């Protein structure tokens, strides 16, 4: 059989089959400088599967993972699958009451939890059915690389080593040994630091030591570590040791049991839960292999995304199955994106448009390194001005940014551009068996090329409905010519070549009091084309006139380039002239607000709900908004 074709199996078995020749030939992922082989990764997956089995996992159970991405989370993704259970990732930044809601929705009895989420989980654990919580920590997977990161050879060159030699040899507990090494080294190097006698390597070494000490300190501050272990909470490392008593077992596969449940972004209300089958994940690996020209090779390196968004799970599976090393960074926002790209020598970048602006904003990436093979964006519409800024630099190495499109409900990606065949502003052509229809949003008449309407998509990877939520599911599907299509909620059009162009989310459409529809993206494109504008977002605000109580008018939130921030009045006049020259009168902005930054969601999209909150607070006094 051709590779990646046997999609009707669990993600565990599909990954095992796809990587049978990768045991020591390639690395599965990197975590804090440690390259982890496929042999080690597979061993961790088996450990995770046994932990879940030992803790009572039964076919059809849902196992929650309240954590960003760590090696243990990758292992859990496949370990849950082997047990015939469902992986349910939850962002640990979620508030406690909502975590409780999610756990109760899926009747979760077993969870994997980041230690730093202990306070939240412990607050609501009695309100849930949780019986067992496996506790992981960033430092758990760092311990086996301590010798490399903090270099024992450096310790041997210090006075501290001779003072501690006997004590170190007498210690048996790894935790005590680490604590002494870190504390003593920090103390000695900080003495040198006072006299400015540290070399560049010394400074980097001290930086690593402090980062590790901070992680250790954070973990120790949690109740889980500072008090006697609570019933129901067990350290993952201890569980791995105990799981050796669990006999190996055959994987369990039932096509009706979801491989995962993923939460939507919830920007307009409570997130909805999307179940995704193993088959859907496997199909995306197959389709990217056969239906795209992405320059992917085994041994390449890709930067990971969070496990609690569908793109993160899909590309985690694809990377693992294709022999691509996934560079695991739990919180990418803690670093400059350019620093990570350069230090880790990333070949394939996948993220949102705001991250890829690093090619324009970071001088070191103005001429990108040649090891970069592809740059892909999705999750939100990319402004034309941003696309051109990014491409101005990528074209120096023969690349262009590739834009794709999908929904959690469809399993990403459904559309993508192909290297060498990229159209500006397009999200590309359909992948695999994906079929798209653009229809009139009132009559549902099917529209032709270059006609704007509501996008419906049919695909073998589409979901069957939201998890335990019939109300939200209603209206998500419509039949055309006997096929069941998903209502994407996006306005779009396609051209004669089959390339699709996304305009706006239907829920973000601004409907004026006179009934006229305004696409925020069209206004954003015009405004962002101005030489002084760095970024912008358009929202709808009610016009405070009791004679016109219905509808909204466009308001532009504008971020100026640094050198123009003192010229707001002049720039506003220019923006009004620019919009009037390029848009109908009813589509121009009625108000401008100049901001320093735009608020972002946890997955780095512009948070328009937060902007609307700002608008409501600021414009509660009707005198602040005068029709121009």
Residue 492 phi, psi dihedral angles, 5° rounding:
-155, 175
Q: At 200, is the pLDDT very low, low, confident or very high (cuts 50, 70, 90)?
A: confident
| Same domain, yes or no: 494 and 439 | yes
**Tokens 């039949």 map to which residue?**
479
pLDDT at 145 over 50: no
| Same domain, yes or no: 37 and 14 | yes
| Same domain, yes or no: 494 and 602 | no
The rounded percent of the chain whose pLDDT value lies above 90 is 66
CB atoms inside a 10 Å sphere around CB 336: 15
Residue 274, strand partner residues: 262
459, 474, 505: which is the final residue of a domain? 505
The rounded percent of the chain whose pLDDT value lies above 70 is 85
pLDDT at 146 over 60: no
Residue 497 lies in a domain: yes
Which residue, among 412, 398, 452, 441, has the nearest Cα to 305 in the 3D structure? 412
Q: At 604, is the pLDDT very low, low, confident or very high (cuts 50, 70, 90)?
A: confident
Which two structure tokens, joined as six digits, stand for 183? 């504390």
CA dihedral sign, ordered 439, 443, 448, 449: negative
- CATH number for the domain including 582? 3.30.300.30
pLDDT tens-digit readout, 492-504: 999 999 999 999 9
279, 309, 326: which is the final residue of a domain? 326
For the residues 75-93, what does the mean pLDDT come to?
A: 97
Q: Which of 48-57, 235-244, 262-271, 480-489 has the lowest mean pLDDT?
A: 262-271
The pLDDT value given to residue 302: 96
Judge whether 409 and 461 are in contact, CB under 8 Å: no
350 CB-side CA count, 13 A: 27
pLDDT at 628 over 50: no
- Within 8 A by CB and 6+ apart from 155, the residues are 161, 181, 184, 185
| Same domain, yes or no: 132 and 170 | yes
The pLDDT value given to residue 152: 45
Q: At 1, is the pLDDT very low, low, confident or very high (cuts 50, 70, 90)?
A: low
Residue 455 lies in a domain: yes
Spatial distance between the Cα atoms of 358 and 341, rounded to a whole number of angstroms: 10
Which two structure tokens, joined as six digits, stand for 201? 């390597």
The pLDDT value given to residue 442: 93
**Enclosing domain of residue 549:** 509-624
| Same domain, yes or no: 467 and 536 | no
The pLDDT value given to residue 522: 93
Q: Does residue 584 have a cis bond before it (omega within 30 degrees)?
A: no
Quickly list DSSP for 553-579: EEEEEEEE-GGGTT-HHHHHHHHHHHH
pLDDT at 62 over 50: yes
pTM of the model: 0.85
For the residues 96-109, what does the mean pLDDT come to?
A: 96
| Same domain, yes or no: 466 and 597 | no
The pLDDT value given to residue 237: 87
| Same domain, yes or no: 490 and 524 | no
Spatial distance between the Cα atoms of 427 and 99, rounded to a whole number of angstroms: 34
| Same domain, yes or no: 479 and 514 | no
Spatial distance between the Cα atoms of 384 and 87, rounded to a whole number of angstroms: 37
pLDDT at 223 over 80: no
Residue 488 lies in a domain: yes
442, 471, 505: which is the final residue of a domain? 505
Q: At 215, is the pLDDT very low, low, confident or very high (cuts 50, 70, 90)?
A: low
**Tokens 């001005």 map to which residue?**
385
Residue 350 lies in a domain: no
Q: What is the mean pLDDT of the chain?
A: 87
DSSP state of 524: H
| Same domain, yes or no: 491 and 525 | no
pLDDT at 462 over 80: yes
CB atoms inside a 10 Å sphere around CB 404: 20
Judge whether 33 and 145 are in contact, CB under 8 Å: yes
Residue 358 lies in a domain: no
| Same domain, yes or no: 513 and 495 | no
For the residues 529-546, what does the mean pLDDT come to?
A: 86
pLDDT at 626 over 60: no
Specify the number of domains making up the chain.
Answer: 3
pLDDT tens-digit readout, 225-267: 444 445 578 889 889 988 889 999 999 999 999 999 999 976 5
Q: Which of 212-221, 247-256, 545-554 has the lowest mean pLDDT?
A: 212-221
Q: At 217, is the pLDDT very low, low, confident or very high (cuts 50, 70, 90)?
A: low
| Same domain, yes or no: 516 and 573 | yes
pLDDT at 2 over 90: no
The pLDDT value given to residue 195: 60
Q: At 293, is the pLDDT very low, low, confident or very high (cuts 50, 70, 90)?
A: confident
The pLDDT value given to residue 86: 98
Residue 360 lies in a domain: no
The pLDDT value given to residue 562: 93
Residue 459 lies in a domain: yes
- CATH number for the domain including 183? 3.40.50.980
pLDDT at 485 over 80: yes
Which residue did the predictor score with more confidence, 225 or 105?
105
The pLDDT value given to residue 555: 95
| C-alpha angle 270-600-304 in degrees, rounded to nearest 5 | 90
Residue 130, strand partner residues: none
Q: At 359, is the pLDDT very low, low, confident or very high (cuts 50, 70, 90)?
A: very high
The pLDDT value given to residue 147: 42
The pLDDT value given to residue 181: 64
Residue 454 lies in a domain: yes
pLDDT at 118 over 50: yes
Element (H, E) at 327: strand 325-328
Query: Where are any strands of DSSP class E within 288-400?
Result: 301-303, 325-328, 348-351, 374-377
| Same domain, yes or no: 478 and 514 | no
pLDDT tens-digit readout, 67-81: 999 999 999 999 999
Residue 132 phi, psi dihedral angles, 5° rounding:
-145, 130
Helix (H, G, I), strand (E, B) or coil at 480: strand
């Amino acid at each position: 059989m051709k590779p990646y074709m046997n999609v009707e199996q669990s993600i565990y078995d599909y990954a095992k089959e796809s990587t049978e020749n990768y045991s020591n030939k390639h690395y599965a992922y990197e975590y804090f400088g440690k390259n982890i082989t496929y042999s080690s990764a597979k061993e961790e997956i088996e450990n995770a599967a046994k932990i879940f089995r030992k803790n009572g996992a039964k076919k059809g159970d849902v196992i929650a993972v309240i954590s960003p991405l760590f090696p243990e989370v990758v292992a859990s993704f496949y370990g849950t699958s082997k047990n015939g259970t469902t992986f349910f990732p939850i962002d640990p930044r979620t508030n406690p009451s909502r975590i409780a809601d999610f756990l109760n929705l899926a009747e979760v009895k077993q969870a994997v939890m980041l230690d730093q989420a202990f306070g939240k989980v412990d607050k609501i654990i009695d309100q849930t059915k949780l019986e067992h919580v496996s506790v992981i920590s960033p430092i758990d997977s760092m311990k086996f690389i301590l010798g490399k990161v903090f270099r024992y050879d450096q310790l041997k060159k210090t006075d501290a080593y001779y003072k501690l030699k006997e004590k170190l040899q007498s210690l048996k507990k790894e935790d005590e040994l680490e604590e002494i090494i870190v504390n003593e080294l920090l103390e000695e190097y900080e003495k040198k630091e006072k006299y400015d006698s540290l070399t560049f390597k010394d400074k980097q070494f001290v930086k690593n030591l402090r980062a590790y000490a901070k992680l250790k300190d954070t973990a120790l501050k949690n109740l889980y570590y500072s008090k006697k272990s609570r019933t129901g909470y067990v350290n993952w490392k201890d569980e791995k040791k105990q799981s050796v008593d669990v006999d190996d077992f055959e994987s369990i596969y039932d096509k009706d049991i979801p491989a995962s449940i993923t939460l939507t972004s919830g920007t307009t209300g409570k997130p909805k839960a999307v179940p995704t089958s193993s088959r859907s994940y496997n199909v995306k690996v197959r389709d990217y292999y056969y239906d795209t020209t992405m320059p992917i090779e085994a041994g390449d390196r890709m930067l990971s995304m969070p496990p609690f968004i569908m793109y993160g799970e899909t590309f985690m599976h694809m990377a693992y199955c294709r022999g691509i090393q996934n560079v695991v960074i739990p919180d990418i926002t803690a670093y400059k994106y350019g620093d990570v790209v350069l230090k880790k020598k990333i070949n394939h970048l996948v993220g949102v448009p705001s991250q890829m602006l690093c090619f324009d904003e970071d001088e070191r990436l103005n001429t990108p390194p040649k090891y970069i093979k592809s740059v892909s964006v999705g999750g939100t519409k990319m402004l034309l001005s941003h696309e051109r800024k990014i491409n101005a630099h990528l074209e120096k190495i023969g690349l262009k940014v590739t834009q794709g499109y999908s929904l959690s409900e469809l399993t990403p990606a459904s559309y993508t551009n192909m290297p060498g065949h990229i159209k500006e502003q397009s999200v590309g052509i359909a992948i695999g068996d994906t079929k798209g229809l653009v229809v009139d949003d009132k009559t549902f008449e099917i529209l032709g090329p270059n006609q704007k309407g509501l996008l419906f998509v049919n695909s073998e990877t589409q979901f069957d409905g939201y998890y335990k939520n019939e109300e939200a599911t209603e209206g998500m599907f419509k039949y055309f010519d006997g096929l069941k299509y998903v209502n994407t909620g996006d306005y779009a059009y396609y051209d004669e070549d089959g390339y699709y162009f996304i305009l706006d989310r239907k829920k973000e459409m601004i409907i004026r009091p006179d009934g006229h529809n305004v696409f925020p993206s069209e206004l954003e494109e015009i405004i962002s084309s101005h030489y002084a504008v760095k970024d912008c977002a358009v929202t709808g605000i009610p016009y405070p006139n009791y004679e016109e109580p219905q509808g909204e008018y466009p308001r532009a939130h504008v971020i100026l380039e640094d050198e123009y921030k003192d010229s707001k009045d002049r720039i506003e006049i220019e923006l009004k002239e620019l919009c009037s020259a390029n848009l109908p009168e009813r589509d121009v902005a009625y108000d401008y607000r100049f901001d320093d930054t735009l608020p972002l969601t946890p997955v780095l999209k512009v948070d328009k709900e937060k902007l609307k909150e700002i608008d409501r607070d600021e414009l509660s006094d009707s005198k602040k908004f005068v029709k121009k």
